[in-house]
Amino acid sequence: ALISIVFSLLYRQPLVFLWSIPGAVLVGPALVHLSFPQVIGAFLVTGLLMLLLGLSGWVRRAMEAVPMPIVMAMVAGVFLRFGLDLVRSLHADFAIAGPMALVWLVVGVWPALGRRLPPLIGALLAGVVAAVLLGRIDASALGAFEIARPLMQAPAWSVPAMIELVVPLAITVIVIQNGQGVAVLRAAGHNPPVNSITLACGLGALVSAAVGSVSTCLTGPTNAILTSSGQRERQYTAAIATGVFAMVFGLLAPVFTRLMLVTPKAFVMTLAGLAMLQVLRAAFVAAFGGGRFTLGALVTLLVTVADLGLLNIGAAFWGLVAGVAVSWLLERADFRALAAGST
């Protein structure tokens, strides 16, 4: 939250940093055979590695080498699940998802109302009302008001933990997570500071590891939502507000965690799906609307959507690798045109 507020103010563009959900998923299986202190040690080394990469300046050059359509195809593949979850929630729990989608449509069709009540907020309120009327939220489960109390974690240094986690975690944060965030920001007309972002993620990862948290990243979905509306020059103010809310949610983590556990699953899936519809459309347009690198973008999309990891690294990374390889072999004219345009 603090990094988000400082960077958004400093660079006057939406730069929201949170913790890596794919990183948390990656770490989960490792806890079966590694101790938590060993994982903490891997977190710290990952943060140090990202810090050094940010200082080296290599990350920006590497990201600029990958064609934008291929990167946006990876983004579309990652974000596609939000749209699919929206459809699934409408099918599985229409009593919750139906009113949310209906209000979202009505507010979006009626511009005068939409200027006073954003469609997504209308959908959120409709979902809350539906859940309360149907008795789907157990208020007694929320418990008492409680402030989070961080617990310092001591690391343990383990070579097997480093081998298993450090490189996959670094690739997940820098390539998959930060790659999404940078891509959606560039597609919206911003110029994110890639090397500074990597440096901030390294610093954030070192601090968060001390309290047992997975690495910090530039979040793709959140920044995509923030850039989907409003004047581009003012979008950074929404990122600052997001940072403030993130700070509040972090301090009240016990309360909000219990609230999420008693919230209907369809409510979360529908809200996330509606929030990502415009973002998902923009990702597909950027990936396939320009006429270049379309085959590589398609391969990237398919590999990413298949969601089959390799060597403990997520499918989004391998989607980028496969897409660039296919384009390099079969779409060389597009690379030549890109090089000619850049000069």
pLDDT in tens, 122-170: 999 999 999 988 888 776 766 677 888 888 989 999 898 898 889 888 9
Residue 339 has what pLDDT?
75
Residue 266 has what pLDDT?
93
Residue 187 has what pLDDT?
87
d(CA 23, CA 42): 12
Residue 142 has what pLDDT?
66
3 has a pLDDT exceeding 90: yes
Residue 342 has what pLDDT?
55
* Burial class of residue 162 in the structure, from the number of CB atoms within 10 Å of its CB (0-12 exposed, 13-18 middle, 19+ buried): middle
36 has a pLDDT exceeding 70: yes
Q: What is the rounded (10 degree) CA torsion for 203, 205, 210, 212?
A: 170
Helix (H, G, I), strand (E, B) or coil at 49: helix
Residue 64 has what pLDDT?
81
pTM, entire model = 0.80
d(CA 25, CA 20): 9
pLDDT digits (tens, 9 = 90+) for 57-80: 888 888 888 888 998 899 899 889
